[in-house]
Amino acid sequence: MDTEIKRVLRQIMNRSTFVGGVPTSETFVNTTDSIEAIADALGIVVGGAGGGFEADGTPSLYDRLIGDTDAVIERIGSDNANNSFASGTVISNRDGSTLERLEFLMAILGATSSTTTALGTTSTFIDSARTEAVDYWNSRVYFVQLSGTNVGLASRVVDFDDVTDTGTIDPALPNAIASGVTYVLIAAPGDNVPPANSTDNITFHDVIGSKIDTNAGDSILARQLVPAADSATNINTRDVVGNKTDTNAGNSILARQLVPAADSVVNVNIRDVVGNKTDTNAGNSLFARLLIPATDSATNISVRDVVGSKVDTNAGNSLLARNLVPTADSASNINIRDVVGNKTDTNAGNSLLARHLIPTADVTTNTNARDVIGNKSDAVQYDVATTRSIMGYLKAIKNEIKELKRQSQYPVLSEFWASDTTAIDLNIWATAVTGTSTVTRQVDTSSPMRARLLTSAGIGDDARLRTVVLFRASPTNYTTSFTQKRLSVAWEGRFTSVANFDNATFIMGLTSTTAATRATTNIIGFGLLTDALRQVTDNGGVESETVPSVVPTLTDWNEYRIEITRIGATNTVEFWINDTLTGTHNTAANIPDANMYLSFFVETDAAATAQLDVGAVTAWISDTDLGTYD
């Protein structure tokens, strides 16, 4: 056992006599080799002997680290009130520990350190240890985070609330400022104004200058002050710009903007070229050259000479003179005025005006268009000849037309929506809407000109377009006792979003009332059933509803037509789609006899819009029971 202990001690002491073999015999001296003696030698306890380990008798390790006044710990300092640094010279002060010196630097920089006591945000920190008044730190210090996720980042303090002990910073930091974060508030750099007209050129404050600098200084502010009047100095921009009191004898920008002397011949500055309000037309400035020349002046130097004077006569050659009317029936052919002519020219002249005067009645001349057109008093010309006028031929045609058999067709409505506005012509049509629905004229070029009924997107919202006038839709009265034997109405139509149409109310055709729908009695027209087209006649609630023999694509443009007539003793309604007869209703009990409006009514039964475009609309009556398309 003793041998093993010695081996361990030898390893601790790193004795050179032990090289991994069997240890040699050792002598153990308790005053130097015991653990207590080693501890004393290291100065681990106060009052250690200090002998053996440090035979020279110098201070122990404990003294070097802690005990002496110049020990390492003393030089570093500790965080207590004893670290107040009061020396005037940092370098030579033995008592100036590292911590004291840091505190001194912080004091010089206006810095104070602390630790947050609650979780803030990316732009706020909370420290209940703060005792300053409200707004104390505003814009005076920077918040520098010394620990946590924002360590090393800084931001200016822009607000301080003394009630909640909360500081607000800008800009915000990347992460919320946590509780227990060490931070420093360090003074923001100040702005120091130098003395007036300071010649120092050390800091940016010297360059910017003072509010009380004069134009004798050289700071930025001084250089912005106006120079002396008519100053010849050419150093600063102010010298180039000039002074409000500069005269036209100066050479600053302001001086060069002043008017020159009247009719000045100087040609140095733009002002000399522009001139003076008192220049005369004897001068050569722009102003002078804009003055009118002498009457009928023959001078041809300036634009004014070409333009001329208001008192020029047609004997002159200026633009104004050349625009004066020539002498009546002038044979001159020099200026446009000679070609245009004089209001007093006669048809004996050859000017444009003269050539537009009516020729003599029955003139045989064939020189001007007027000769071809003729005179209102030209005689009727039934025979063709090279000496006849259009007027003579028209009179003959008019007489021939009187002899033609009268037409059996009488148009009563022709609407092609031919306008460049979106307004509906309320002399022909009436409109009504609910919600924010609209009835407008569409004038774009993507489709034919048309009217558009567009409902708003609320269930039950509707739009109506109907004629102001009534049509006689009473086939019982289409007899020899009455002129009308047939009523025809036709229109172009295109549906959009058919699924949104309320089938129970949609109608396009003839209705007996202004507010009629599909559910109203006494109607003739096209309706919908399960979003498919139907042909409907209703007489006092007795209806016929049929499916068209040809089913159109409702979202395409289609032509719809209704023909109402009386064939023999049978009241008849024909339905036509794209010039194809698609259905005939001739049950008298189901066909109304009434004066009716041409109506279009759209209502949405969904929370979405429904749209009907109506193209060209025509209506006509015939004095025979044979229709135009039969």
pLDDT tens-digit map of 239-270: 888 888 888 888 888 878 888 888 888 887 88
pLDDT reported for residue 39: 59
Dihedral in degrees, nearest 10, Cα atoms 602, 605, 609, 613: -20
Amino acid at the residue 208: I
Decide if pLDDT at 236 tops 90.
Answer: no
Q: Span 468-492, mean pLDDT?
A: 91
From CA 165, how far away is CA 144, in angstroms rounded?
17
> Which residues, 6+ apart, have CB-to-CB distance to 453 below 8 Å?
437, 439, 463, 464, 465, 600, 602, 611, 612, 613, 614
Decide if pLDDT at 73 tops 60.
Answer: no
Which residue's entry shows tokens 């003076």? Answer: 276
Q: Span 348-354, mean pLDDT?
A: 83
Q: Span 134-149, mean pLDDT?
A: 89
pLDDT reported for residue 626: 53
Please check whether residue 141 is in contact with residue 106, taking contact to mean a CB–CB distance below 8 angstroms.
no
87-91, 162-166, 263-267, range with greatest mean pLDDT: 162-166
- What's the mean pLDDT when you consider all of the chain? 81
- As beta bridge partners, residue 559 has 492
From CA 195, how far away is CA 334, in angstroms rounded?
81
Lowest mean pLDDT among 135-144, 388-397, 407-416, 476-485: 407-416
pLDDT reported for residue 415: 92
Please check whether residue 285 is in contact with residue 276, taking contact to mean a CB–CB distance below 8 angstroms.
yes
Q: Span 25-49, mean pLDDT?
A: 59
Decide if pLDDT at 602 tops 80.
Answer: yes
Q: Span 18-43, mean pLDDT?
A: 60
Decide if pLDDT at 88 tops 80.
Answer: no
Q: Span 177-200, mean pLDDT?
A: 80
Which one has a higher pLDDT value, 77 or 416?
416
Share of the chain above pLDDT 90, in %: 37
pLDDT reported for residue 541: 94
Which one has a higher pLDDT value, 8 or 303?
303
Please check whether residue 514 is in contact with residue 594, taking contact to mean a CB–CB distance below 8 angstroms.
no
pLDDT reported for residue 327: 85
Plot region of 296 (φ>0 → left; ψ -120 to 50 → alpha; else → beta):
left
pLDDT reported for residue 26: 57
Decide if pLDDT at 378 tops 80.
Answer: yes
Q: Span 356-374, mean pLDDT?
A: 85
Lowest mean pLDDT among 316-330, 477-491, 607-621: 316-330
pLDDT reported for residue 70: 54
pLDDT reported for residue 54: 39
Domain assignments of the chain as residue spans, ordered by start: 2-67, 112-187, 361-404, 412-622
Amino acid at the residue 614: V
- The model's confidence at residue 25, banded by pLDDT at 50, 70 and 90, is low
pLDDT reported for residue 51: 42
- The model's confidence at residue 561, banded by pLDDT at 50, 70 and 90, is very high
From CA 37, how far away is CA 30, in angstroms rounded?
8
Which one has a higher pLDDT value, 530 or 187?
530
From CA 627, how far away is CA 573, in angstroms rounded?
12
Which one has a higher pLDDT value, 496 or 158?
496
From CA 82, how far away is CA 53, in angstroms rounded?
34
Q: What is the third-level CATH fold of 412-622? A: Jelly Rolls (2.60.120)
Lowest mean pLDDT among 127-141, 222-236, 460-474: 222-236
What is 296-331 written as a DSSP string? Answer: T----SSHHHHH--TT--TTS-SHHHHHS--STT--
From CA 73, how far away is CA 100, in angstroms rounded?
12
Decide the pairing of beta strands 558-567 and 570-577: antiparallel
pLDDT reported for residue 319: 81
Q: Span 102-125, mean pLDDT?
A: 81
Q: What confidence tens digit (pLDDT) does each residue in 437-475 have?
A: 999 998 777 778 999 999 999 999 999 999 999 999 999
- The model's confidence at residue 133, banded by pLDDT at 50, 70 and 90, is very high
Q: Span 327-350, mean pLDDT?
A: 84
